[in-house]
Chain A
Amino acid sequence: MVPLSYYLLLSGILFVCGVLGFLIKRNIITIFMSIELMLNGVNLSFVAFAAHWHALSGQVFVFFVMVVAAAEAAVGLAIIIAVYRTRETLNVDQVNLLKL
């Protein structure tokens, strides 16, 4: 028996690492990976609560999160490729204009 709070703590640590990466990273791809890390942390708390309350719908929500993450990754990486084509950089500090 592992207490629920341990799972929530692990999920919180992953989420905080994701937030930290989102704030301090300058590479646009790494920022994107930090968002995936945050989504994973939330997924872990979904599954832990599903096991805690004996409700399977928590696991179904994990699938929906995964679907949204997959859609987000596909569109986001396409945007990154488009940004790189026009600006030739991946540093978010240099991407500060909407129109060139």
Chain B
Amino acid sequence: MQTMFHLILFLFFGAICVAGAINLLVQSHPINSALSLIAVMASLAAEYLLLGAEFVAAVQVIVYAGAIMVLFLITIMLLNAGAEERTKGSQVAILLGIPGVLIGGVLVAWTLLSPYSTTQSVAIGALWGDPKSIARLLFHDFLLPFEVTSVLILIAIMGAVVLASRQRAVASAARKDAG
């Protein structure tokens, strides 16, 4: 009974994931694409919960569906992005891209679902992804990568500030006026 319920929940949130991903492709306005991406990320968090990864699910909602998508939405609204216009290049991309991607997807699905592949079942709550054990791994075994990512984040913040600041554009315009 519980197994059945687990499968139903998996299929429900998986269907939301796929529908959101396809909606992202179909919509022409970036705001609609961003909102459907939020739906994909939220239902992925539910999938993580089904796999027993509680902490990852919480971080997925906070970081991905929260922070990163808010960044995207702010950029879209800041730039006042309208619906995308179709050009000749996009026609070529559609003609070449859709068949190629479909072939790749069918190959992956065939490999995964072929009876020769030895994939087993994943039980609910089989893994204790609670914050304590995750933190023990993160601060003992993966301490060096963890510290390196903090440097990466710092560099990314500084890079974003430098790139997005108006200062340089104003300075070069002033130089042009003087010269």
Contact of A1 among B33, B123, B127, B161 (CB under 8 A): B123
CA distance A69 to B153 in the complex (A): 10
**Closest chain A CB from B142 CB (angstroms):** 5
Knowing A70-B67, A80-B79, say if A9 contacts B112 (CB, 8 Å): yes
A40 with B64, Cβ < 8 A, contacts A20-B101, A51-B122 known: yes
- Given the known A-B contacts A21-B25, A60-B134, are A2 and B121 also in contact in the complex, defined by CB atoms under 8 Å? yes
Contact of B163 with A26 in the complex, beta carbons under 8 Å:
no
Within 8 A of B (CB), among A8-29: 8-10, 12-14, 16-21, 23-27, 29
A contacts with B: majority SS: helix
- Cross-chain contact A37 with B21 (CB below 8 angstroms): yes
Interface residues of A in 48-93 (CB under 8 A from B): 48, 50-52, 54, 56-57, 59-60, 62-64, 66-75, 77-82, 84-86, 90-91, 93
Q: Is the CB of A70 within 8 A of B153?
A: yes
User: Contact string, A34-45, partner B, CB cutoff 8 A, digits 1/0?
Assistant: 101100100110
Given contacts A17-B25, A56-B137, is CB(A66)–CB(B109) below 8 Å? no
Whether A57 pairs with B141 at a CB distance below 8 angstroms is yes
Could you tell me the distance between the alpha carbons of A65 and B117 in the complex, rounded to whole angstroms? 27
B76 near A29 with CB under 8 A, answer: yes
If A2-B50, A66-B59, A69-B64 touch, whether A60 touches B138 (CB-CB below 8 Å) is yes
Q: How far is the CA of A47 from the CA of B124 in the complex (A)?
A: 13
Contact between chains at B78 and A27 (CB < 8 Å): no
> In whole angstroms, what is the CA distance A1 to B174 when docked?
66
Residues from chain A with Cβ under 8 Å of B68 in the complex:
36, 69-70, 73
Interface pair A30/B108, CB less than 8 Å apart: no
A-B contact pairs, 20 of them (CB 8 A): A1-B122, A6-B10, A8-B112, A10-B17, A21-B25, A24-B90, A33-B72, A34-B24, A36-B64, A50-B127, A51-B52, A51-B126, A52-B122, A54-B126, A57-B137, A62-B56, A63-B59, A68-B152, A70-B63, A81-B79
Q: Which residues of B contact A (CB under 8 A)?
A: 3, 6-7, 10, 14, 17-18, 21-22, 24-25, 30, 33-34, 37, 40-41, 44, 47-48, 50-53, 55-56, 59-60, 63-64, 67-68, 71-72, 75-76, 78-79, 81, 84-90, 93-94, 96-98, 100-101, 104-105, 108-109, 112-113, 117, 119-124, 126-127, 129, 133-134, 137-138, 141-142, 145, 149, 152-153, 155-157, 159-164, 166, 169
